[in-house]
Each structure stands twice: as C-alpha cells, then as structure tokens.
Structure 1
Amino acid sequence: MLELLPSPPADPLFDLEAEFAADTRPDRLNLVLGVYRDRTGATPVMEAVRKAEVRLAERSVSKEYRGLSGNASFNRAMLSMVLGARALTERATAVQTVAGTGALRLLADLVRQTRPGATVWISDPAYVNHRPILEGAGLQVRTYGRPASAGLPGAAGMLDDLRAARRHDVVLLQGCCHNPTGVDPSFEEWEELAGLAAANGWVPFVDLAYHGLGDGLEADLRATRMLSERLPEVLIAASCSKNFGLYSDRTGCAIVLGSSRRALGHVETALQNAARTLYSMPPEHGAAVVTTILEDERLRTVWRAELDAMREHITANRAELAARLRALGHAGQAAALARQKGMFSMLSLTPEQMGEMRRRSGIYGTNSGRVNVAGLPADRIPFLARGIATALEAARAVPSG
C-alpha cells in the first residue's frame, strides 16, 4: 500500500524552518513563521495568560470532556469580543475550534454542505494555507487581486475582480493585517465591499488572525463588525494564537451570523458534526485561559495593555526598518514598508532575490518576499536592512538582456 503513495508537496514554510535549523551561521535570522518575539528575541508568555493559568491551576477539579462545541463560556466571550454589539451576538452562533486553522476548515465544511457548487474566492497573494484548507474541504477556489507589488495601498483591483463573484459564492477576506502583504483596504473600501456583497449576493468569510496587532483591537475589528451589521450572513474564523500568545494551545472560534437566530437553524449541529469527524472536541486549556481573561476586568485590562505594547513594538520595528532602508538609499522600499501594518511585511524582492539573501546573509523570509517584522529582535534591524539593501543593489547590478 505505502509504495503507492504519491510524493506529496512539502509545506514551504516548514521547509524553510528546516533549512534555517540546518544553517550553522551564528548570525542567521529567522523571519519565516508568524510568531511574536520581544526585544530580546524571546516569545514570552503574556502576564495576563500567566495569571489566568495560575488561577485555573488552583481551581482545577476535572479534565472531563467539554463537548463538541467546546467551552460554552469561551464561545460567548469570543462572540462578545469580536462582534461587540448585543444585536449582533443575538443572531450569531459559535463553536470553539482547534485554533484559527480549525475554524477555517469547519466553516469550509459548512460551505460545502450548504452550497456544494459555490466558489470560494481568496486573495492573490494569500495566506499560504488558505487554498489547501479550502480545497481539502472539496471547494472550488478562485482568486481576486491584491495590490501586493511594492506594498501599494488601495483595493481597486480587489473590487473589480469580485464583481465576478456570483450569488451564493463565498469571499474569504482577512479582517485586518493582511498576510502576506501587510496592506488592508481603507474603511471606505470595506464599505464598498459590503455594498458589492449585498448587491451580488455573495457571503463574506472573514479570517481574523491578527486583531489587535494592526491599529488596535477595536479598530482592527471595525470592518468585521460593519460587514456583520450590513449583511444577512457572515462567516468568521477567529484565532487566539497571536493576540493571546497561545500558539501551541491551538485556541480559536468559528462564528456564523444569520439574518436572525431562527435562520441559523442547524448551523451549530452541522459545525459539531464536522468537528466530530476531524478532531471530535477542541482542547480546553487555551479556551479556559481566554475566558478567564475576558471575564475578569482586571485581567482584561492587563491583557489589553500587553496587546497594545506588542502592537507598538511591531510598529516601531517596521518604522525603524523603513528608516534604515531610506538611509541606505532605498526610499521606495522604505515608503512601501511604512504603509504596511501587522506582523508581516512584503519586500519588493523576487523569489530569486529572497533565496540569494538567505545564501548571502543568512536572512530567512518566504520566497514571496514576506518577512515577520513581529519576530525581529530590535538589535538585528540594521543587519536586516543591510541584507535587503544588498539584495536590491545586486538586482540593479545584473545587466539586462
């Protein structure tokens, strides 16, 4: 049997991680995976999380199953945080998932059950796992354009492409801090997207992985809440990996909004059934931590302050990198970086140039040009700027024709 297994494609990000691990240069720099690191290069446990874990350890009396929907208190807390207004939470249902990835897959299964002929539209470029998740659920995938080259802002190409999305299609939108480009639509463009969805009858599917790390928690949720207010149906995959630092605890939530509570009908049962076939029940620990924080005013205040500090650190990293590149004579790349937000930035480098930067400088980003500025130790910013500058200058030096 096993000899008949075809060679599967390797995951490009974890291939780069393995290459980095095998690199023996002491000054190599890993900017591949989306993990926050502080000024020393460590990925800390947030203080609010630590306090919540101590409290949970003192109270823990059982490890009994929570059920297919996971922790009900967590689901209510996530609905309240993501949607805000009571009127929205009353026409929504949620189930706990295995991180944001699990939420994406459960909601993809829901789309396949309810609209088997639907097409799901994703951005180009997109988060590397979007297409595999959707196609793994048996869905057809098409792409809409993103203004990724040089990180230029604006969503005109996106809006033009999505005019072709049909009634009952689904459009996957990143709610903030687009991965990999770091470029989001303006709020006015988000409103145009809402109008287009209402007119043409397609359903927004919002991926919320980085809320709190762009312009602040409330600002980062503004577009998702607006879509939820104006449209009868919205799907939302929310992750707690980045903004609570719960990467390995795999904590997330799948949210479905209908025109009314009654319209949701069998949605929760359908999501439960999908979960049952994939992983049965989600892990409890991360959900209990998040619930403890969101339900306690003091812990919530500590968490919000820490989240703001993380966002400010990321913003400062990007601003300093842009300033260093400007000083090295690369004003265009600096200007593009300065307009981006969130954990990732997109460099104006080709896959060949990114490969050359790995070989020459030991700087590891993805072949698409994405680098994790949230994982950049402050003292390594000059090193990164010089590596980027060297790659850009080498490209200029190559004779044409």
Structure 2
Amino acid sequence: MFDTAVARPIDQIIAISRAYQEDPRDDKVDFGIGVYKDETGLTPIMRSVKAAEQRLIDTQKTKTYVGVGGDQKFVELFANQVLPDHAYGTDIIGIQSIGGSGAVRVLAELAHSLNPDACFWIPDPSWPNHKAIIGAVGAKMANYPYAKFTAEPDVDAILTALDGASPGDVVVIHGGCHNPTGIDPSIEELGRLTDGIGERGLIPFVDAAYLGFGDGWEEDSARVAAVADRAPEMLLALSCSKNFGIYRERTGAALLVGKGHANLAAANSNLLALARANYSMPPDHGAAIVRTIFEDPELKADWLAELTEIREIINKSRSALALALARAKQDRDWTYIDTGRGMFSLIDVTPEAAEKLREDHGVYIIPDGRMNIAGIDLNKIDEIAAKLVTAV
C-alpha cells in the first residue's frame, strides 16, 4: 500500500515556521505562523487561564468522556457571549469542536451532506486551510474577490461575483480580523453584504477565529450578530485559540444559527453524527477552562482586561510598522496596515521575493505576502522595514 504513496507538499505556513525554527541567525524575523506573541516573542498563558486551570485541578473529580457534543454548558455560554439576543436551543444550537479548524470541517461536511450540489464561495485571498478543508469534504468551490491593499473590501464587487452563485450555495465570511489581509468591511457594509447574500438565496458561513482582537470583544461579536440577525440560516465556526491563548488545547464550537428555525435540532443531530464519525468525542480541558472563566465574573473581567492589553499591543505594532515602511519607501501607501485589524496584513511581494527575503535577510513571511505582525520587535522596526521594502 505504501508503495503507491506520493509525497505531498507541506502547508506553506507550517513549512515557513519549520524553516524559521531551523535558521541559526540571531537577527531573524518571524512573520509566519498565526499565533499571538508579545514583545519578547513569547506566546504567554493568560492570567485567567492559569487561575481557571488551577481551579480545575483542585475540583475536577473525573476524566470521563464529555459526550459527542462536548461540554454543552461551554457551548451555550460561548454562544450567548457572542450572540446574546439568540436563545440557545431555539435560535442557535451546536457542538464543541476540535478548535476553529474542526468547526470549519464539521460544518462544511454538514452543509455538503445536506446539499451536495452547493458550491462554497471563498474570499480571494483567504486562510489557505479554508480551501484545503472544504476540498477534503469533496464540495465544489469558487472564489469572490477580496481587498488586499485598501482600507476596506469592495462589497459591490463581491456581490457582483456572487451573482454567479446558485441558491443554496455557501458563502464563507471572515468574522473579523480577516486572514490574511487584516481588512474588514464596516459593520454597515457587512450588513449590506449579508442582505445581498440573502437576496440571492445563499447561506453565510462565518469563521470567527479572532473575536476580541479587532475592536473589542463586544464590538467584534456585534459583527457576527450583524450577519446572524439578517440571515434565516447561518453556519458559525468559533475558536478559543487566539482570544484565550489556548492554541494547543484545540477548543472551539460549531454552531447552527436561525432565529426560531423549526429544524435546528434535526440539523444538529446530523452535526453530532458527523462529529461521532470523525473523532467520536472532543477533548475537555480547553472547554472547561473557558467555561470556568465565563462562569466567574472576576475571571471574566481579568480575561477581558488582558484581551484588551493584547489588542492594544497588536494595534501599536501595526501602526509602528506602517510608519516605518512609510519612512523606508515613501512612494507606497502603507496606511492599510495601520487601519487594518488583528494580527495579519499583506505586503505586495512575489513568492520569489519572499524567498529572497528569507535567504538574504532572515525575514520570514508567507510566499503570498502574509505577515503576522504580532510580536514584532519595535526596537528594530526601522531595520525590519528596510529589509521588507527590498522585496517590493
């Protein structure tokens, strides 16, 4: 059997991360894998997470399975935090997933199983794993255009592209802090986009991996609500990796949204069956941490305070990099980096130029120009910018 195997290329994000780790140079710069890092390059454990973990160690009495749907109290609390105007069990229902990626997978598989003819419309550019996951499900895919180096995406252009969609098709929407551009529509434009999706009989599929990293937890959740309030049906993938810093705990939720939808429970039974066939039961630890934080007002307040600190550090890094690039290359407009949100932005380079940056300067960016700005050394910001502009 193994003799028929042909080596497949490594995901470019993973490959860049591996190359960075193997690089012995002291002045190397990591713009690669999408994790938050502080000014020292560390991905810290949040105070509230440590406190919640200790509480679990002291009080947890069993390590038995949590069930196919996972910790349902966690799912309900998470859903209520993001969509407080949607009653759990009536307007929204779902399961605990294995991270945000697991949520995307089971939701895509659900949509494909219920409508095998549905085409998934993915923004171009998008997180590369969107295409990999949806392709693995076996669904058809198409792209709609998305802004790269401007202040906000062109909703009219998106809707024009979606004129080519068929009723029942699925439209993937980033829930905020678009990966890889960092460029989000205003909440008004997001509402207009959702209305256009509904008028065409399409289903929005919101992937919200960075809630709290944009403008604030409530503000970012309001972006998700802007879609949920307008759409008769919505698929929603939520992740706790970034906003709780529990990347390796693989914690997320896959939710089905539809205010008063009579068939939510039946659809959720299909989601449960798919989860059972995929991985049987989700892990508990990360969900138990988040549930503990949401249930305790003091822990939640401290978590929100630290989330604010993280967001402010990221925004400071965005502004500093935009200004440094402007000093290094004044004939380009870099304001889109400053006005963007979240950890990611793009720089206009070719894959060959990105490779040259790695080889000559030890600057690691994804070949399509994606940069994770979190953790950049602000003391070396002009030096880093000078290296980056050699590639554009």
TM-score, normalised to structure 2's length? 0.96
Q: Which runs of 5+ in 1 are unaligned?
A: 393-401
Q: 2:142 is matched with which residue?
A: 142
1-structure distance, mates of 2:286, 2:261: 28
Q: For 1:88-127, list aligned pairs within 5 A.
A: 90-127=90-127
Q: 1:129 is matched with which residue?
A: 129
Question: In the superposition, relative to structure 1, how do residues 196 and 86 fare at CA in structure 2: closer, same or farther (>3 Å)?
Answer: closer
Secondary structure at 1:305 match in 2? helix
Pick which of 67-76 and 17-26 moved more. Answer: 17-26
Matched, 1:370 2:377: no
Q: 2:290 is matched with which residue?
A: 290
Q: 1:153 is matched with which residue?
A: 152
Q: 1:234 is matched with which residue?
A: 234
Question: In the superposition, relative to structure 1, how do residues 355 and 330 fare at CA in structure 2: closer, same or farther (>3 Å)?
Answer: farther
Counterpart code for 1:269: S
Q: For 1:27-46, list aligned pairs within 5 A.
A: 27-46=27-46
Pick which of 370-379 and 213-222 moved more. Answer: 370-379
Q: 2:5 is matched with which residue?
A: 5
Matched, 1:180 2:180: yes
Secondary structure at 2:128 match in 1? coil
Q: Could you tell me the percent identity over the aligned residues?
A: 37
Matched, 1:243 2:243: yes
Q: 2:320 is matched with which residue?
A: 320
Q: 2:62 is matched with which residue?
A: 62
Secondary structure at 1:345 match in 2? strand
Q: 2:352 is matched with which residue?
A: 352
Counterpart code for 2:58: E
CA deviation after TM superposition for structure 1 residue 380, in Å: 3.8
2-structure distance, mates of 1:235, 1:283: 22
2-structure distance, mates of 1:353, 1:151: 21
Secondary structure at 1:332 match in 2? coil
Q: Does structure 2 conserve the Cα–Cα contact (< 8 Å) formed by 1:174 and 1:206? A: yes
Pick which of 45-54 and 163-172 moved more. Answer: 163-172
Question: In the superposition, relative to structure 1, how do residues 217 and 378 fare at CA in structure 2: closer, same or farther (>3 Å)?
Answer: same
CA deviation after TM superposition for structure 1 residue 289, in Å: 0.3
Q: 1:189 is matched with which residue?
A: 189
2-structure distance, mates of 1:381, 1:287: 37
Deviations 1:279-317, CA, capped at 9 Å, x for gaps? 111110000000000111111100000001100000000
Question: In the superposition, relative to structure 1, how do residues 299 and 308 fare at CA in structure 2: closer, same or farther (>3 Å)?
Answer: same
2-structure distance, mates of 1:122, 1:161: 11
CA deviation after TM superposition for structure 1 residue 89, in Å: 6.4
Question: In the superposition, relative to structure 1, how do residues 73 and 265 fare at CA in structure 2: closer, same or farther (>3 Å)?
Answer: closer
Q: 1:399 is matched with which residue?
A: none
Q: 2:221 is matched with which residue?
A: 221
Pick which of 341-350 and 44-53 moved more. Answer: 341-350
CA deviation after TM superposition for structure 1 residue 158, in Å: 1.7
Question: In the superposition, relative to structure 1, how do residues 86 and 19 fare at CA in structure 2: closer, same or farther (>3 Å)?
Answer: closer
Secondary structure at 2:374 match in 1? helix
Q: What RMSD in Å do the two structures reach over aligned CA positions?
A: 1.5
1-structure distance, mates of 2:137, 2:373: 32
Counterpart code for 2:283: P
CA deviation after TM superposition for structure 1 residue 331, in Å: 5.5
1-structure distance, mates of 2:226, 2:166: 21
Deviations 1:221-268, CA, capped at 9 Å, x for gaps? 222102111111000000000000010000000010134253213222
2-structure distance, mates of 1:68, 1:122: 29
CA deviation after TM superposition for structure 1 residue 152, in Å: 4.5
Between Structure 1 and Structure 2, how many residues are aligned? 391
Question: In the superposition, relative to structure 1, how do residues 200 and 76 fare at CA in structure 2: closer, same or farther (>3 Å)?
Answer: same
Matched, 1:200 2:200: yes
CA deviation after TM superposition for structure 1 residue 356, in Å: 1.4
Q: Does structure 1 conserve the Cα–Cα contact (< 8 Å) formed by 2:314 and 2:374? A: yes
Counterpart code for 1:174: H
Question: In the superposition, relative to structure 1, how do residues 269 and 87 fare at CA in structure 2: closer, same or farther (>3 Å)?
Answer: closer
Deviations 1:120-142, CA, capped at 9 Å, x for gaps? 10011110100110011111010
Secondary structure at 1:52 match in 2? helix
Q: Does structure 2 conserve the Cα–Cα contact (< 8 Å) formed by 1:325 and 1:331? A: no
Q: 1:397 is matched with which residue?
A: none
2-structure distance, mates of 1:18, 1:309: 29
2-structure distance, mates of 1:59, 1:265: 33
Q: For 1:296-307, list aligned pairs within 5 A.
A: 296-307=296-307
Counterpart code for 2:161: D
Matched, 1:18 2:18: yes
Secondary structure at 1:330 match in 2? coil
2-structure distance, mates of 1:276, 1:381: 48
Q: Does structure 1 conserve the Cα–Cα contact (< 8 Å) formed by 2:86 and 2:259? A: no
Counterpart code for 2:338: A
Secondary structure at 1:205 match in 2? strand
Matched, 1:71 2:75: no
Deviations 1:131-160, CA, capped at 9 Å, x for gaps? 110011111010000111x34523232222
Secondary structure at 2:332 match in 1? helix
Secondary structure at 1:171 match in 2? strand
CA deviation after TM superposition for structure 1 residue 345, in Å: 1.0
Matched, 1:82 2:82: yes
Q: Does structure 1 conserve the Cα–Cα contact (< 8 Å) formed by 2:175 and 2:207? A: yes
Secondary structure at 1:172 match in 2? strand
CA deviation after TM superposition for structure 1 residue 333, in Å: 4.2
Deviations 1:40-80, CA, capped at 9 Å, x for gaps? 11110000101101111110110010000000110111111
Secondary structure at 1:180 match in 2? coil
TM-score, normalised to structure 1's length? 0.94
1-structure distance, mates of 2:306, 2:358: 33
CA deviation after TM superposition for structure 1 residue 337, in Å: 1.3
Q: Does structure 2 conserve the Cα–Cα contact (< 8 Å) formed by 1:112 and 1:139? A: yes
